[in-house]
């Protein structure tokens, strides 16, 4: 069960609390992300293709979380970071699109319509979060996406290797700059809590996606 950082943030800086949150509740901590089923067994290529397609549904559209957060964030301290995040995530989105095309059709899976509906609902939830009028919420969501993308990028790299594609170098903000921004913006307690909430919710949606992908893999094995 996810433990929030809001209480922790009252005692520590947000930049200190976020790495632990991402490690515990983000993609890297999900069993399926590092599983043999996704990385090394006989059906790994099929399962990676499934992951690529569904990551595309969640994050392959523009505007996405980072762009929407940029529209909603008037804090001047965040402007340079947001501009770099927009440019860098644009490259990631292109890479994801290229992987999706190269991966071909989605693997046949029982309950596909329900799966797609679930991810579309997740996308609506994160778009709503990134459009929040609560100062700091959208920025917290964007920060969590960039931090958690490191683990997601490892999955994309694995898919690229299976497809004999070259993966581009990341142009996203480096972790130290991202955490420094969280500390600066989070000096205001109310903004800190809003950023923590936005971050928690993005990570929850990512874990929900990995849960769904793991369930789809199991359903294919039983089919």
Is pLDDT larger for residue 1 or for residue 115? 115
Residues spanned by the domain of 207: 18-222
CA distances from 109 to 33, 44, 71, 176, 222 (A): 19, 15, 37, 40, 10
User: Would you say residue 34 lies in a domain?
Assistant: yes
User: Would you say residue 202 lies in a domain?
Assistant: yes
- Residue 88: how many other CB atoms lie within 10 Å: 17
Ramachandran bin of 35, using left for φ above 0, alpha for ψ from -120 to 50, beta for the remaining angles: beta
Decide if pLDDT at 9 tops 60.
no
Decide if pLDDT at 6 tops 50.
no
- pLDDT tens digits along 153-207: 999 999 999 999 999 999 999 999 999 999 999 889 999 999 999 999 999 999 9
Q: In CATH, what number is assigned to the domain containing residue 64?
A: 1.20.910
User: Is the bond preceding 63 in cis, omega lying within 30 degrees of 0?
Assistant: yes
User: Would you say residue 210 lies in a domain?
Assistant: yes
Decide if pLDDT at 120 tops 90.
yes
Give the SS3 label for residue 176.
helix
Decide if pLDDT at 8 tops 60.
no
Integer Cα distance of 86 and 151 in angstroms: 19
pLDDT above 90 covers a percentage of the chain that reads: 89
Q: Report the pLDDT value the prediction gives residue 41, as an integer from 0 to 100.
A: 92
Structure tokens at 53: 């397609």
User: Would you say residue 123 lies in a domain?
Assistant: yes
- pLDDT tens digits along 69-108: 999 998 899 999 999 999 999 999 999 999 999 999 999 9
User: Would you say residue 52 lies in a domain?
Assistant: yes
Q: Where are the alpha helices (DSSP H) in the chain?
A: 6-11, 14-25, 36-39, 44-59, 65-72, 79-103, 112-130, 137-162, 175-185, 189-222
String of b and e for 37-57 (b: at least 16 CB within 10 Å)?
Answer: bbbeeeebbbbbbbbbbbbbb
């Amino acid at each position: 069960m996810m433990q929030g950082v809001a209480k922790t943030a009252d005692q520590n800086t947000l930049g200190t609390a976020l790495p632990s949150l991402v490690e515990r509740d983000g993609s890297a901590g999900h069993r399926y992300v590092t599983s043999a089923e996704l990385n090394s067994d006989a059906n790994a290529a099929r399962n990676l293709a499934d992951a690529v397609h569904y990551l595309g549904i969640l994050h392959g559209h523009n505007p996405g979380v980072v762009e929407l957060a940029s529209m909603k964030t008037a804090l001047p301290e965040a402007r340079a970071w947001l501009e770099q995040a927009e440019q860098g995530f644009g490259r990631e989105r292109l890479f994801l699109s290229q992987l999706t095309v190269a991966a071909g059709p989605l693997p046949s899976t029982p309950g596909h319509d329900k799966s797609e509906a679930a991810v579309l609902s997740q996308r609506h939830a994160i778009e709503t979060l990134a459009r929040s009028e609560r100062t700091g919420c959208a920025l917290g969501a964007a920060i969590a996406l960039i931090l958690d993308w490191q683990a997601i990028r490892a999955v994309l790299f694995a898919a690229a290797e299976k497809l004999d594609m070259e993966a581009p170098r990341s142009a996203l903000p480096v972790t130290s700059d991202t955490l420094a921004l969280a500390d600066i913006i989070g000096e205001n307690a109310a903004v800190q809590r809003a950023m923590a909430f936005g971050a928690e919710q993005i990570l929850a949606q990512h874990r929900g996606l990995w849960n769904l992908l793991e369930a789809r893999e199991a359903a294919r094995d039983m089919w």
